[in-house]
Structure 1
Amino acid sequence: MTAPALLLLAHGTEDPAGQATWDRLASAVDRVLPEAEVRLAYAGVAVPSLADVLVELPGPVVVVPAFLASGFHVRVDVPEQLAMTGRDDVVVAEPFGPDPALVGVLLDRLAEAGAGPGDTVVLAAAGSTDPVAQDDLRTAAALLTARVGHEVPVGYIAGGEPRVASVVESTGARGPRIVIATWLLAPGAFHRWLGSSGAALVAEPLGDHPDVVGVAVARYRAAVGA
């Protein structure tokens, strides 16, 4: 029997670097899962959409939401989009985050950016007013806190409070160099905005790191097994 297709669903972006990152991530997942057709779609802004790709994919299909929290897109938008297709052969896997493996990727990205043991880390996320998404972000910060040895404050890039720049300013008053761990999957406007946050350095997004690929594959396999 043919394995279910994997539809990797990303947050939409018009940024060429962001789209290239998503393409690389989907290609990397495809290499790990040669038995399954792997396709990429966007939840909004960019094309192809979820519905566009599902028209071309026979069932069964596993949608893997490439989101770092269970916010509006995961709990409301994606189910509504699926309902509109009328398909009953599509299941939705758990989202990417928060996941301890992704916290390991944060540490790798910080090291690549030049962060050191004496730096104070601030976790920067896109931001959400959704309570479930905020809980997921606090979980990610707690996981990172356990790894870096000091409490990691959270700042929002857009939507919600406190904003990253405010967190950097208040944390920096205590002395250590402030570095930003970027809780984003791909580059784009949000990542560029972090450059004006006042931090000494800003790590790259999680991107197509092998452990991000691993999380995508794990979410797919868990959904297939269920």
Structure 2
Amino acid sequence: MGGGTVVSRVLIVGSAGTHSPEGRANVSRLVNAVRREAHGLDVADGYVDQQSPALAEVVRTTAGPRAIVPLLLTRDPLPLRAMIAAARLDPSVSVTAPIGPDWVLAEIGVQRLIEAGARPDDSIVLAAEALTDAAAVDDVSKAARLLSAVWGGRVHIGTLAGLDTGLDEAIDIARAYGKRVVVSSYVLTSGAAHDEMLACGADVVTAPLVPAGAPDQRLVGLVLARARSRSGWVTGEDGEHHVALG
């Protein structure tokens, strides 16, 4: 897109969607918190699946330069492709990098560990949803490194399915150290994935990054920072659709 930076006045918070009523409520509170802090910007939310409004419909019913910020913790290919496809409906729409991995999420993850009663001598396992793409595996590996750096100790990785080490196996490996095993839930909200983590057999399982109650202001700031960043945009095959928020 030529002619310099295009300033967007519409921020679309894009989510994968969930069946969980609690998870839906938590995401809604996060979107509302972003709306309160997005001074001068219109904020809309759209969903890839399981919830409405559909992201593509939000794109169709809004106008002008818009930026979609994926509420994704990795470059999860299915929802991310759907978001890119929605952006291609209008050349004035772009998709930013997902919110994860990021130092902010690592800081919140450590806060969840402390809230759950994790101790310095515990074995920590970062638990992620099913991974089916190498980029998502890389993102979870980075998330574990960031969590390890903030926590100050080793962090194992376990996934619910797909690529990388399964969560059950990761817990067995962590338990071999003869310590308590604490699962750090690398999921955004309550839902089926977090329910599986709660039933994994760990001694302690943390709350999601967005639990019930008021959203963490650091996460609100992260969403807005992604939207305003001029680096790390996700682009389509044509390499276009760059829109910056100002």
**Does TM, scored on the shorter chain, surpass 0.5?**
yes
Alignment partner, residue 118 of structure 1 = 121
Give the whole-Å Cα distance in 2 for the aligned partners of 1:75 and 1:106.
23
Letter in 2 for 1:60: P
* Identical amino acids, percent of aligned pairs: 33
Count, aligned residues: 224
Q: Which residue of 2 aligns with 1:215?
A: 222
Aligned partners of 1:168 and 1:199 also within 8 Å: yes
Q: Is the 8 A contact 1:2 1:35 kept in 2?
A: no
Give the Å deviation of 1:191: 0.3
Do 1:3 and 1:35's aligned partners in 2 also have CA atoms closer than 8 Å? no
What 5-or-longer segments of structure 2 have no aligned partner?
Answer: 1-5, 231-243
Query: Unpaired segments of 5 or more residues in structure 1?
Result: none
| Pairing partner for 2:68 from 38, 45, 63 | 63
Alignment check: 8 A CA contact 1:186 1:206 kept: yes
Question: 1:174: Cα distance to partner?
Answer: 1.6
Q: Does 2:23 align with 1:21? A: no
1:10 aligns with 2:38: no
Q: Write the deviation string for residues 144-192 of structure 1: whole angstroms up to 9, x where unpaired.
A: 1222333211101233342212211221122111111111111101101
TM-score, with structure 1 as normaliser: 0.92
Q: TM-score, normalised by structure 2?
A: 0.85
Q: Secondary structure at the match of 2:155?
A: coil
The residue matched to 1:59 in structure 2 has which SS? coil
Q: 1:175 to 1:193 in 2, by over 3 A?
A: same
In the TM superposition, what is the alpha-carbon distance from 1:70 to its structure 2 partner? 1.6
Instruction: After superposing the two structures, state which structure 1 stretch, 68-77 or 154-163, moved more.
Output: 68-77
Task: Render the CA deviation track for 1:23-80: whole Å, top value 9, x for unaligned.
Answer: 0000010111131111111122222111121222111111001111123146533222
Question: Could you say which residue in structure 2 is the equivalent of 1:165?
Answer: 168
CA RMSD of the aligned region, Å? Answer: 1.9
**Aligned pair partner of 1:135 in 125, 134, 138:** 138
Structure 1 segments of 4+ aligned residues over 6 angstroms from their partners: none
Counterpart position of 2:53: 48
> What SS class does the counterpart of residue 206 from structure 1 fall into?
coil
| 2:48 and 2:79 in contact (8 A); partners too | no
The answer as to 2:79 corresponding to 1:79 is no
